Amino acid sequence: MTQWTYVIMAYGLGIAGTAGLIGYCWFALKRAEARLDALKRK
Amino acid sequence: MHGFANPTRFLSIARPLTPAFMVSGLIMVAIALFLGVFNAPADRLMGETVRILYIHVPAAWLGMAGWTSIAIASLVELVWRHPLAGIAARASAVPGAFFCALCLATGSIWARPTWGTWWVWDGRLTSMLVLFFLYLGYIALADASQKDAAAGRGGTSRVAAIFGLVGAVNVPIINRSVVWWNSLHQPASISIGKSAIDPAFLWPLGMAVIGFSLIFGAIVLMRMRTLLADIRIEARMRRLAAA
């Protein structure tokens, strides 16, 4: 493997992981807020 | 400080701050990584692999900063009984664990071409791995105590807060590990007021650290808002069940 392969592996992991974490937290927040709004309307 | 104890007041501040932190953080990280990959020079000894620095160092910083946040919030929860402190501590755990894992993974990737091995059981790497396990333990404990409290079984977040406080002993151990024990890992290149890193590497690194910290802040705010919404849902469900 060349040095760039290791760089791409690290960047891929960092960018994909961070994007995944942001997405997971964002959808969890939206789901919780939607549930709360639905309960408020009851 | 107790002025922010009111969740409604906290939410009115957190709602506009979340996208502000996230957008500014993403822009800073994008610029920093672009400069790190395309503008910064290769290192004399490490060659192109030095570019892993711009992911690995912010991840290491946030892995340790995440637990420091848990410890400070746990102390505030235990001593001053600030109602949002426990939520702040729990909200810091998942992003802290993620960045700790990212630090270990990128460190391992960086170690292979520079040290010739993916892993060594030295002080720095082992203490960082211990921190990751502490995060997993804290997440499980905080989750279990929250469920016990919700089920009326008397569980409180105090156990998790004590664990968060005691676990903070590992943070200075990680920091000093390269001084106390022989290690393949290099000693600290940056200390208060001085740096051994060339400005060509230092500027993108500083931007990456600030940018990832802003993203971390936005994630903590999102998780705090989620936990607050979950608590309100729980309270409302109980009221509906009692009615």
Answer whether B229 sits within 8 Å of A29, measured CB to CB.
yes
For residue B102, list chain A residues with Cβ-Cβ distance below 8 A: 13-14, 17-18
- pLDDT tens-digit series, residues B177-216: 888 888 888 777 777 677 777 788 889 999 999 999 999 9
Neighbours of B60 (CB within 10 A): 22
Instruction: Give the nearest chain B residue to A33 (CA atoms).
Output: B229
- pLDDT value of residue B162: 94
Does the structure show a pLDDT above 60 at B108? yes
- Distance, CA of A37 to CA of B228 (rounded, Å): 13
Residue A4 tokens, joined: 């760039």
- pLDDT value of residue B148: 64
Mean pLDDT of B164-181: 91
**What stretches of chain B show up as alpha helix (H) in DSSP?**
7-34, 53-80, 85-115, 123-150, 158-167, 170-180, 199-242
ipTM for the predicted complex: 0.94
Does the structure show a pLDDT above 60 at B155? no
Lowest-confidence pick of B33-37, B130-134, B193-197: B193-197
Instruction: Give the nearest chain B residue to A26 (CA atoms).
Output: B222
Which of B53, B109, B239 to mutate against chain A (most A CBs within 10 Å)? Answer: B109
- pLDDT value of residue B151: 59
Mean pLDDT of B114-121: 93
Mean pLDDT of B99-122: 95
Q: Give the H or E element holding residue B82.
A: none
For residue A3, list chain B residues with Cβ-Cβ distance below 8 A: 47-49, 113
For residue A22, list chain B residues with Cβ-Cβ distance below 8 A: 22, 215, 218-219
Mean pLDDT of B101-112: 96
